[in-house]
Amino acid sequence: MKKYQLIRYISLIFSLLVFNNLQANETTPSPDTVRLLASQCAQCHGTTGNTLGDFDSIAGDTFDELLNELLDMHADNDNEIMHKQIKGYSKEQIWYIADYYANLPKNSNEDKSEEKEEDKEDEVDEEDEEDEEDEEDEEDEEDEEDEEDEEDE
């Protein structure tokens, strides 16, 4: 563990030396740019960072927790989707993203109940889909009877 921490400190300091040569002030993101940058996490983690399903919720986690977790994934070689995604960002960008979500409110009660409901839906989807679907299909057909389908719009 200690060796690993040391390596990370060294690599971070090294990257910051490079970073400082790139004129930090010019590329330091404005608040709107931080919002845009952070919004690119929301496809998988939800508009408010309160995530549905089994992916980690990120809103309201402490800054330290988010930053360390993201930097760990940034540094390792694991072939997992989030570990690959985070490698698309610089350490500076990760710092701003962690700060952004650490400052969003965690919607703890709603999140839990929503997750339970979602899990139930999954089971229904996978096991009893036939009954459910027949009913829905009848509705669908009525709605879509006269729709054209050649194009999206």
Partner 1 sequence: MNNFNRRDFIKLMGISTAAVATPSLIKTASANGGLSARVVVVGSGFAGSTVAKHLRLWSNNLIDVTVVDPHFAHVSCVMSNLVVNEQLAMSDITFQHAVLNEKYGVNFIKSSVSSINHEAAEKQVFLENGQTLLCDYIVLAPGISFDDIPGLDHQKVPHAWVAGPQTKLLREKMKAILGGDTFVMTIPKAPYRCPPGPYERACVIADMMKKKGGGKVIVLDLNPKIIVEEHMFSNAFSEIYGGIVEYIPNIEIKAVDSDDLIVYTKNHGEFKADVLNVIPTHRAGKIITDLGFNTVADRWADVNPISYELNNTADVFVIGDSSGTSQPKSGHMANSQAKICADAIIRKIANRPLDSQERLANLTTNSACYSPITSTTATWLTAGFIYNQDEQRMKAIPASLGEAELHHVDHYKDMFSWSKNLFENTFM
Q: Which of 14, 76, 118, 120 binds partner 1 (CB under 8 A)?
A: 118
- 123 interacts with partner 1 by CB under 8 A: no
Q: Which of 10, 14, 103, 120 binds partner 1 (CB under 8 A)?
A: 103
Tokens linked to 102: 């650490």
- 110 interacts with partner 1 by CB under 8 A: no
User: Shortest CA distance to 89 belongs to which of 104, 102, 73, 103?
Assistant: 73
- Interatomic CA distance for residues 142 and 146, integer angstroms: 9
Q: Which is nearer to partner 1, 55 or 108 (CB)?
A: 55
Q: Check the CA dihedral 133-139-142-143 and report its sign.
A: negative
Asked whether the beta carbons of 93 and 15 are under 8 A apart, the reply is: no
Q: Which of 18, 113, 130, 142 binds partner 1 (CB under 8 A)?
A: 130
Among positions 5-24, residues that touch partner 1 (CB under 8 A) are 5, 12-13, 16, 19-20, 24
Least distance CB 30 / partner 1 (angstroms)? 5
- 76 interacts with partner 1 by CB under 8 A: no
What length does the chain have? 153
